[in-house]
Amino acid sequence: MNTVIFRTIAPLIVGTMLVFSVYICLRGHNEPGGGFIGGLIAASAIAVLGMSSGRDAARRALRFDPIAIAAAGVLLAASSGLLSLFTGSAFMTSIWLYLELGETTVPLSTPMFFDIGVYLVVLGAISAIGLGLETDDGEGL
């Protein structure tokens, strides 16, 4: 499975999958997609990297422990819901902030931060499972 062609093309595949996963995550609130699907695509990219370069190289590419990534996602998702309590609203009520950047208005919202938190949880959890099943040489089970 770990051929020269696969090892050569894997970085391009991984980069494309990671960019697409962020796109899917960020458009998910208004269109199909979201943090869960984006996180699955990103975890699949890490699995492809693990198959092509080995488990240790994939862990180094993540830069953080996958469980720490998942924990940061849980913290972000929970805090996005708790912010509404400071406004006197019900838990998980959406809060919107509009940033004026020159002629462009950038909307930020707590649902977006919740989706990013879910993205990180799924990326971290599935990557931890996938890398735990990988062998050192990238062959898997």
| Residue 140 domain flag | no
| Residue 106 domain flag | yes
Structure tokens at 86: 């400071």
| Residue 122 domain flag | yes
How many structural domains does the chain have?
1
User: Phi/psi of residue 97, each to 5°?
Assistant: -130, 130
From first to last of the 141 residues of the chain, give the pLDDT tens digit.
678 999 999 999 999 999 999 999 988 766 778 899 999 999 999 999 999 988 999 999 999 999 999 999 999 999 998 888 888 888 888 888 899 988 999 888 888 899 999 999 999 999 999 998 876 655 554
| Residue 138 domain flag | no
Contact 16, 36 (CB under 8 A): no
| Residue 141 domain flag | no
| CA torsion, ordered 117, 120, 121, 125, to nearest 10 deg | 180
| Residue 45 domain flag | yes
| Residue 49 domain flag | yes
| Residue 139 domain flag | no
Residue 96: give the domain boundaries. Answer: 4-133
What is this structure's pTM? 0.87
Give the count of beta carbons closer than 10 Å to the beta carbon of residue 108: 11
Contact 30, 112 (CB under 8 A): no
